[in-house]
Structure formats: C-alpha cells, structure tokens
Structure 1
Amino acid sequence: MDLQDKVILVTGGGTGVGRATALKLAAKGAKVAVNYSRSEQEAHEVVSEIEKRGGTGFAYQADVASKQEVDALAACIAGRYGTIDGLVNNASITAQIAMDNLEAATDEVWDSLFSVNVKGMFHCVQAVVPYMKKQKSGAIVNMGSVAGITGIGSSIPYAATKSAIHTMTRSLAIALAPDIRVNCISPGAVDTRWWAGHEEKMIRLAGNLPLQRISTPDDMAEAVIFQLTQASVTGQVFTIDNGQTLC
C-alpha cells in the first residue's frame, strides 16, 4: 500500500503509540482520522501538528467499546474522505494490579478491559471492513503486547486481552483474505504515559533486556507502517521487545 492519499483510522490516536503513528502516517501523505475517547485536547493537538506539517486529518470522539459510536465514526470518515483504506487498532486500557493479587481482578476489571481491548477492536474491524471489501483492498493492524505471549504484564486481565488479540488477528487474516490483510504488533516495554509513576515496575517486568533499551512510541509506529504497506504480510504477530522474550 502506497500511503499517499490513503485514509487511515488510528484509534487511541491522541497519545503514545497512536500519536506517533498518526504523525508518521500523515508525513507519508495519508489522511488520518485521529480517534480518542477521553484525550480530547491531545487528539486535537495531534491534528494541529499534522496540519502544521502540511498534512490532512481530523479528530473524532468515540468509545470503541460502543459499536454504535464506532459505526458513526466510520460513517463520518467515509463521508468526509470517501472510503477507509486502513485501520490501526491501537485503543486499549489497562489496570495496574499485582499478578498475585487475584481478588483485585474483579468482574468490573475483566469486563472493562475486554470491552475495550478485544470487543472494541472487533467493533472497529466490523465498521471498516465493508469499505475495504467494496474496493477490494485494505490493511488492519491490531496492537497486542508481549504480555499476551509471556502472561506477565500490568495485570492478568490485561495479559489475557492481549493474548485474545493475537488469536483474533490470525482468525481475521484468514476470514478477510485475499483482499484485506490483518496483522498485529506485540510491543514489549514502551515508554508511554501508561507507565508514568510505574517506571520501576515496567523495568522489572521487562527483565534483562539484551538490547538494554526501552522502546519508544516511534519504534512501534515504524512497525505499524511496515505492516500497513507490505503486501505479502498477513496473520503475523510481530514481537518488538528489545529481546525481552528471549530471556
């Protein structure tokens, strides 16, 4: 996929990996829809930065846990730009719960994380696929985590949602081939606001990193762009973790 004039939806696009991805996509000529749930100011700042650099984009509030709101988001994008060529399923939430504190992993925590991280991503796929099928092309990138591979992360429910995303990616890649490619990024430790105040825990969970560095949002954004643009890649979960899962 040549990104020039392609229409890409980035969920959770106001901060962190979503922000970095939105800016890089716009720099490559894409028209970027920056979705946000609560980070309104940040999302509009991303759009302002895109426009300042000569790009095209707009911000739209929608809770991905709500299928109705996601459908309205997709309809708005298509109404503005004519179609949807790509989806970066980045919106996620977490809960900082010690792995051995089973009582703190309440039904409310489980339900909220699965509603956003798994069902929310599926809602977004459902919303964009009709436009991609109509034009017989499209690419989707889901944001997973090494927590979904190792089982170790900010909480057990979070790790479980990310494992589900990895499996859902493979299922969707089969279901939507040959016209729509679906892949997944599985980051290790990334320096984002999620870990603000929990930096020591992040470094502890990351373990003995062979590359002796913590990834940046820009690292993940580059990987997202690779998966969006490489025509031969589908159904893959790319682990980008500075060697974290080797140890």
Structure 2
Amino acid sequence: MHLQNKVALVTGGGTGIGRATCLLLAKRGAIVAVNYSRSRTEAEETADIINKEGGRAIAMQADVSRDKEVQAMVELLAQQFGTVDLLVNNASITRHIPLVDLEGATEEIWDELFDVNVKGMFYCARAVAPYMNRNNEGAIVNLGSIAGQTGLGSSLPYAVSKSAVHGLTKSLARALAPNIRVNCVVPGAVATRWWAGREEQMNRLAPNLLLQRIATPEDIAQLICSALEQETMTGQMITVDGGQTL
C-alpha cells in the first residue's frame, strides 16, 4: 500500500515515537491526524511542522481510554478528509514501580494502564474499521514492547498490558481480515522522554546490546511505515530492539 494521500491517525502523535511517525508519514505523502490527550502544545507543533513543509496535518484531542471521545474524533476526521485509511496505535502510559513491589501495583494503576494501553487500542481499531472496510483495505500498527515478551519493564502492570497488546494484535488480525491488516511493532529501549531522569541507566544499557546503540524514535517510525505498507503481512510481532532479547 502506498501512503500517498492516505488518511492516517496516530495516537499520542505529539511526542517521541508518535511524533517521528507523524513526520515520516507526512514525508511519504499521507494526510496525518496527530492525536493527543494532554500534550496539546506538542501535537499542534507536530502538525505545524508538517503543514509548513507542504504536507497536511491536524491535531485532534481525545482520551483514547474513553470510547465516546475516540468515536467522535474518528467521525470528525472522516468528515474532514473523507475516510480513515491507516491507524497507528501509539498512545501508551506507564508507572515506574519495581517489579517486586506488588503492593505498589494498585487497582487504580492496573485500571489506568489497561484502559489506555489495551482498551484504548481496541476502541481506536473499532472506530476506524468501518471506514477501512468501506474502502476494502486498511492497515493498523499497534505499539507493543519487549516488556510484553520478557516480563521486565517499568512496572508489572505495564509489562502485562503490553503482553495484552500483542494478544490484541493477533485477535484483531483475525477479526478484521481480509480487508484490514493488523501488525505490532515491538521496540526495545528507545531514546524518548520515558527515560527522563534515568539517562544514565539508558546509557549503561547501550554497550550490552548486540548493536551497541539505543534506537531513536525515527528508527521505530521507519518500521511502522514499512509495516503499514506491507500488503501480505498481518498478525505479526516485529521486534526492533538492537538484539536485546536474542
């Protein structure tokens, strides 16, 4: 699938991997909706960069954990640009809790992480599916994490939520076939604001990776765009982690 003139929705599109993906999609000719929940300034900046460079982009607010907000956003996007062709389910949150601190993983934190990281991706996929089915084609990429494969990560609920994203990808690939392809990009460590305050820890990790470098948001964005374009692939987990989990 060529990305030229396709309408793409990127959740959490104002920062990090989301921003890099929005910028690359626009460079490849897509019309981009930069979704944000709270990062309004960053999302509007991302859209402005695209528009100033001759692309087409808008910033759109919606909390992905709220189904009605997601539906309203997708309807507005389709009204403005006619349809929705591509979805990048990037919006995710975490809480930093040592894995051994079981008491720290409260009911509130479990609910918060699953509402955004898992149910939010489902709500977005469900909202765009009718438009993609009408076009007889569409592509969705979910953002997983090696935390969902290894069980390690910023917290136990985060790792489990990402494992659920991997399962969601496979189930959606079955549910939405044959018109809509659903794949999952599974990053390892990526140099984003998630490492804020822990840069030293990130830099200690790099020499232990086979490729001896931490991925950039742009590295992940390249793979996301490739997965959107690949017409014979669905239900796949594509790991990009510098060899960390080999």
CA contact (8 A) 1:153 1:205 kept: no
C-alpha spacing 1:157/1:204, structure 2 compared with 1 (3 Å): farther
The AA in structure 2 aligned to 1:35 is N
The AA in structure 2 aligned to 1:21 is T
C-alpha spacing 1:127/1:165, structure 2 compared with 1 (3 Å): same
Distance 1:237 1:204 in 2: 27
- For residue 89 of structure 1, report the CA deviation from its aligned partner: 0.2
- For residue 13 of structure 1, report the CA deviation from its aligned partner: 0.1
After superposition, the CA RMSD in angstroms is: 1.2
Question: What is the number of residues matched between the two proteins?
Answer: 246
2:197 is the alignment partner of 1:171:
no
**Following superposition of structure 1 onto structure 2, how do residues 69-80 of structure 1 map, counting pairs within 5 Å?**
69-80=69-80
**Following superposition of structure 1 onto structure 2, how do residues 4-23 of structure 1 map, counting pairs within 5 Å?**
4-23=4-23
2:26 is the alignment partner of 1:26:
yes
2:137 is the alignment partner of 1:129:
no
Cα deviation, 1:114-155, whole Å, max 9, x if unaligned, reads 000000000000100010111111000000000000000100
**Following superposition of structure 1 onto structure 2, how do residues 78-93 of structure 1 map, counting pairs within 5 Å?**
78-93=78-93
Aligned residue in 2 for 1:149: 149
- For residue 195 of structure 1, report the CA deviation from its aligned partner: 1.0
- For residue 203 of structure 1, report the CA deviation from its aligned partner: 5.2
- For residue 59 of structure 1, report the CA deviation from its aligned partner: 0.3
The AA in structure 1 aligned to 2:233 is V
Distance 1:224 1:203 in 2: 25
- For residue 208 of structure 1, report the CA deviation from its aligned partner: 2.1
Aligned residue in 2 for 1:97: 97
TM-score for the superposition, normalised by structure 2: 0.98
- For residue 198 of structure 1, report the CA deviation from its aligned partner: 1.9
**Following superposition of structure 1 onto structure 2, how do residues 1-247 of structure 1 map, counting pairs within 5 Å?**
1-202=1-202, 208-246=208-246
The AA in structure 2 aligned to 1:172 is L
Distance 1:35 1:107 in 2: 27
Distance 1:175 1:207 in 2: 41
TM-score for the superposition, normalised by structure 1: 0.97
Distance 1:244 1:184 in 2: 18
CA contact (8 A) 1:113 1:161 kept: yes
Q: Which runs of 5+ in 1 are unaligned?
A: none
- For residue 201 of structure 1, report the CA deviation from its aligned partner: 3.9
C-alpha spacing 1:104/1:207, structure 2 compared with 1 (3 Å): farther
Deviates more, 1:200-209 or 1:160-169: 200-209
Secondary structure of the residue aligned to 1:244 is coil
Distance 2:202 2:159 in 1: 14
Distance 1:145 1:179 in 2: 26
- For residue 58 of structure 1, report the CA deviation from its aligned partner: 0.1
Q: Which runs of 5+ in 2 are unaligned?
A: none
CA contact (8 A) 2:206 2:213 kept: no
C-alpha spacing 1:188/1:73, structure 2 compared with 1 (3 Å): same
Percentage of matched positions with identical amino acids = 61
- For residue 101 of structure 1, report the CA deviation from its aligned partner: 1.1
Deviates more, 1:24-33 or 1:202-211: 202-211
- For residue 10 of structure 1, report the CA deviation from its aligned partner: 0.2
C-alpha spacing 1:90/1:114, structure 2 compared with 1 (3 Å): same
Secondary structure of the residue aligned to 2:245 is helix
